[in-house]
A and B are shown apart, each in its own frame.
Chain A
Amino acid sequence: MMGSCVLYCGIDIMTPASIFLILLGMYFAVGTVIGLVFVIIGIRKIDPVAAGAPLRVRFIFLPGTISIWPIVLYLWRTKLKAGSSS
């Protein structure tokens, strides 16, 4: 192991494996933040059906946003634009 970079929990962060897992963790972390904003506020502006759903129902869309947040961001933007121009 490359001793200099071993975290206290035992992960050697310099192996390809650890780098992959850390990136994956970061991806999910970013997704969680974006997801929270999306389901609490964002969704109401772009989906009339979801807008009518109570918050606790909208939370079921959180895992999906976490898993594909780049697509969500892209479509969110497109839909907002389409909404404001019409």
Chain B
Amino acid sequence: MTVSYTWVQWNKHKKIYDLIMLALSLIFVATFILTSTLVYKDDEAISAMILAIRAFGILAIILLHIILCIGPLTRITPLMSPILYNRRHLGVMMFFAALIHAGLALLFYGAFGVRSPFAGLFDGYHAYTSISGFPFEIMGLFALLILFVMASTSHDFWLAFLTPCLWKSLHMLVYLAYAFVLLHVVFGALQSERHPALATALIAGAVTVFALHIVSGLKEFKPSLQAQEADAPWIDIGLVNDFPMDQGRVVCIANQERVAIFRHNDGISALSNVCAHQAGPLGEGRIVNGCVTCPWHGYQYHADNGQSPPPYTERIPTYELRIEGERVLLNPQPNPPGTPVTPAVRSSEPSSDEVGET
């Protein structure tokens, strides 16, 4: 939905969201440093620099967990959609937290000594930061490089330039970055056996991310509807009243292909379930101001032709529907993106024994 580019695509909601996240992050860092200073005293005292390094590292990993959990959570409950809406800004914020962490670590352990700040990355100071000597910083560096690729290509320009498919694949690298971060923390921070709390939190976090992805994956799975022999290729997708007013429904046809069904005014329309923006699930969205609205970032489409309202130019495939009695039938053959289709309407008033369910 891009008509012009700006530095950061902010609107009022996103600004408030970003401000809240930024404030929470700063409060976290300050609280972390302050409490650690109060807890570890005298002999155990830790320099403020080390505390800052740890605080930003932990902040980054917390943000990373939130980012990884938002996707599956929105599938499980729509309550999370507002957070998903601005996930990209959260990603950039996480990158900066990690960058500050890495920058401070390199400065502190490297440049202030005799060696080059980067030399320590691979072979410098494991003697006292890790038992095995595993170069955990290099894992951190790999993670940081991936996060850099993602943060730097997060602008909508890149989405258009790379095409949503390539962009999405690139951003799937976040899971690789996550793996590197886990190694970085497991081999680095954990091996110095400072805090069992960090170990517990790390395991709990990884289990949560994993479990949420499994649960949302299961929820996503729907048995495919098959065409009835006699009436091929049309597929019976249910009763008219199965489809709530102005609220999307996803049906799954052969090959796990998904179709979004919308009932608006008197008619029912069918569109591809895949949003042209980042392949969000349109069928989990609603009709807002007469347009099908994607639950992920709010791209809109006319239900009867799959086209975004002007000046936008996105188009998605449409499907033919037909209503027989009270049953809704779908032609599984998609029309080219943007093809107008007259919404299916009941041919006559339903007979009395067919009404009743709401």
Interface residues of A (CB under 8 A from B): 9-12, 15-18, 20-21, 24, 46-47, 49-50, 52-53, 56-58, 60-61, 63-64, 66-68, 71-72, 75
CB within 8 Å of A: which B200-251 residues: none
B5 located at the interface, meaning its Cβ lies under 8 Å from any Cβ of chain A in the complex: yes
Contacts of A18 in B (CB 8 A): 119
Contacts of B7 in A (CB 8 A): 56-57, 60
| Inter-chain contact A17/B2, CB cutoff 8 Å | no
Contacts of B152 in A (CB 8 A): 63-64, 66-68
Give, as a whole number of angstroms, the nearest-CB distance from A74 to chain B. Answer: 11
B351 located at the interface, meaning its Cβ lies under 8 Å from any Cβ of chain A in the complex: no
With A50-B157, A67-B153 already in contact, the answer to whether A17 and B119 are too (CB < 8 A) is yes
| Inter-chain contact A53/B119, CB cutoff 8 Å | no
Give, as a whole number of angstroms, the nearest-CB distance from B145 to chain A. Answer: 8
B148 located at the interface, meaning its Cβ lies under 8 Å from any Cβ of chain A in the complex: yes
| Inter-chain contact B2/A49, CB cutoff 8 Å | yes
Q: Which of B44-52, B57-65, B158-166, B266-274 contacts A (4 or more CB under 8 A)?
A: B158-166
B3 located at the interface, meaning its Cβ lies under 8 Å from any Cβ of chain A in the complex: yes
Give, as a whole number of angstroms, the nearest-CB distance from B174 to chain A. Answer: 14
B116 located at the interface, meaning its Cβ lies under 8 Å from any Cβ of chain A in the complex: yes
| Inter-chain contact A17/B122, CB cutoff 8 Å | yes
Contacts of B170 in A (CB 8 A): 68
| Inter-chain contact B5/A10, CB cutoff 8 Å | no
| Cα-based distance from A75 to B6 in the complex (angstroms) | 22
| Cα-based distance from A50 to B166 in the complex (angstroms) | 19
Q: Which secondary structure characterizes the binding site on chain A?
A: helix
**Size class of the B contact interface (CB-based, 8 Å):** 20 to 34
Residue interface mask B16-58, A partner, CB < 8 A = 1:
0000000000000000000000000000000000000000000
Partner of B116, one of A9, A24, A67, A72: A9
Partner of A61, one of B2, B145, B148, B155: B155
Most chain B CB within a 10 A radius of its CB, from A10, A24, A52: A10
A-B contact pairs, 19 of them (CB 8 A): A10-B114, A11-B118, A11-B119, A12-B119, A17-B119, A17-B121, A17-B138, A21-B121, A24-B145, A56-B7, A60-B7, A61-B155, A63-B148, A64-B152, A66-B152, A67-B149, A68-B153, A68-B170, A71-B162
| Inter-chain contact B149/A47, CB cutoff 8 Å | no
| Cα-based distance from A67 to B119 in the complex (angstroms) | 22
Give, as a whole number of angstroms, the nearest-CB distance from B288 to chain A. Answer: 24
| Cα-based distance from A57 to B5 in the complex (angstroms) | 7
Contacts of A20 in B (CB 8 A): 122
| Inter-chain contact B160/A49, CB cutoff 8 Å | yes
Most chain A CB within a 10 A radius of its CB, from B5, B7, B116, B162: B5
Partner of A21, one of B115, B118, B151, B158: B118
B4 located at the interface, meaning its Cβ lies under 8 Å from any Cβ of chain A in the complex: yes
Give, as a whole number of angstroms, the nearest-CB distance from A30 to chain B. Answer: 15
Give, as a whole number of angstroms, the nearest-CB distance from B160 to chain A. Answer: 7
